[in-house]
Amino acid sequence: MKQYRKAKILLIALSALSGLTISGCGGSSENDPMTLNVICLNAGYGDAWIKTLAENWATANPDYKVNLTTSYDAASLIQKHLVSKNNEDDVYICVGASWKSYAAQGYFLSLDDLLAETVDDTTVQAKVNSEYQKSLSYKGKDGTPHAYRLPWTSGIGGIYFNAKMFETQGWNTPTTYAELLSLCQTIKDAKVPVAGSLTDVVKPFVYTGMNADYFDYTVFTWWAQLAGMESIQSFLNYPDASVYDAGVANSAYSYLKQATGLWDGLFGDSANFVEGSATKSNHIAQQNFLNGEAAMMFDGEWVYNEMLEYVGEQGFPSDFELRIMKTPTAPNAIDPHASYIVGEDQYMAIPTTSKKPELAKSFLKSIVSDAGCRTFLEKAHGLMAYDFDAEGVLPDNAFVSSVQAYKSNVSETFTNFSNNQMYLSNIIDIWGTSAYRPYSNILAGSATVNSAFSTIATETTRNWDTWKKQAGL
């Protein structure tokens, strides 16, 4: 406790010297032309990274100070402030598909000129990773494309595993789906006791039923392996409701159904996961994983940073080492090195009402710079959506090394972005709507893969004209 308090006092002292003030979740802002007001989401990646970058920016710009608000409820604060008459905010960093609606309604400033500005001897646009290049320009209802947000992270979702458990038990990391199925059987047959329990044995998986969308990250990667990028990009144009018919042979959606079937091959057997996973929050499932109740977990890149909160200063136990495996290759894959990237719903934006847009752009440039990306990797243990030199940043961290290895082993990446107005209006997504995402119903036994995809096709066809009207088409 003494060490924690000492560190906190030091941070406050440094903040005072550099011109950084940190607000609580109330989202108070300062009506001061010399103060940059920033709201940033404080969730899986934490806020140590943005506090450091805000402090560095304030030090480099001594005539100004940063009023930084970090909050788990950042999305609500942003929504509230955007519609207020006196919005003093200058920068938003958050998650949520609502960024598209905000842009369409004119709440966000165009960042076209920022993309052309130079950082690290190149343009901001040139630094953006390939998977986000197509989504930099947003075509609003007026039909004119502009960049209203910068992407934030280039997250890797997938299958995370306890490398120490694998090493102790002599389990090999699977490289194919068949090997993954075989590993699950091996784990069940081994009946490895869970430490501290007289009856429980290690299960292949634990999952968070309250965040069933986490399954998307692996399923969408299998989808890309099976269908190929060209087929998926064609689907994401959303030309009409027929693209959701998985019964059409060799269609993009037929391959998504196959990918979902691979997932069902794992989770259709309740012996493959910790009992009660369907009702677990992300944090409870992660703690089960950390406690050795499961060998693997479907999650996102932020899992490491969240787990650090559980272990505190003592660090991870000696029998736990978190890594991500390259998604095992699907049977009959035509593009085994393709991967889905998490983060299309994330944004860094400047509200139109900002009275300090040039200062805000300077702040965003500091974030996407090599130094900013390295700070994010060091403090948040994740990768931002920009090309940068990561050499020398946490070289002995097994988790970070595994994430970097994953990214270096995939040659094609994609997100779920579409320039179709129905997508931009938050009306449709890959599942038709998020309500049609099938995992929970399949796990609960109220649907099968076949019936779930039949429902998606039926409902999208039935609602298509209504959705078009809602999108103004």
The sign one gets for the Cα dihedral 271, 274, 276, 280 is negative
All structural domains of the chain, each given as residue ranges with its CATH number in brackets, are: 2-155+343-393 (3.40.190.10), 158-340+416-470 (3.40.190.10)
pLDDT the model gives residue 4: 24
pLDDT the model gives residue 62: 94
- What are the Cα distances from residue 94, in Å, to 127, 303, 343, 362? 20, 18, 10, 18
CA 239 to CA 244: how far, in whole Å?
10
Instruction: Per-residue pLDDT tens, the chain, 473 aa: give them.
Output: 222 222 333 333 334 344 677 654 445 456 788 999 999 999 999 999 999 999 999 999 999 999 999 999 999 999 999 999 899 999 999 999 999 989 988 999 999 999 999 999 999 999 999 999 999 998 765 678 899 999 999 999 999 999 999 999 999 999 999 999 999 999 999 999 999 999 999 999 999 999 999 999 999 999 999 999 999 999 999 999 999 999 999 999 999 999 999 999 999 999 999 999 999 999 999 999 999 999 999 999 999 999 999 998 889 999 999 999 999 999 999 999 999 999 999 999 999 999 999 999 999 999 999 999 999 999 999 999 999 999 999 999 999 999 999 999 999 999 999 989 899 888 999 999 999 999 999 999 999 999 999 999 999 999 999 999 999 88
pLDDT the model gives residue 3: 28
The sign one gets for the Cα dihedral 167, 178, 332, 330 is negative
DSSP helix/strand/coil, 21: strand
pLDDT the model gives residue 7: 33
pLDDT the model gives residue 95: 97
pLDDT the model gives residue 313: 84
User: Contact at 8 Å (CB) between 70 and 331?
Assistant: no
Q: Is the pTM of this model over 0.95?
A: no
DSSP letter for each residue of 345-393: TEEEE-BTT-S-HHHHHHHHHHHHSHHHHHHHHHHH-S-BSB----TTS
User: Contact at 8 Å (CB) between 211 and 296?
Assistant: no
CA 367 to CA 463: how far, in whole Å?
41
Query: To which residue do tokens 């035509």 refer?
Result: 334
DSSP helix/strand/coil, 140: coil
pLDDT the model gives residue 23: 57
Query: To which residue do tokens 């890309």 refer?
Result: 224
pLDDT the model gives residue 144: 82
- What are the Cα distances from residue 372, in Å, to 351, 383, 386, 404? 22, 11, 10, 17
pLDDT the model gives residue 13: 35
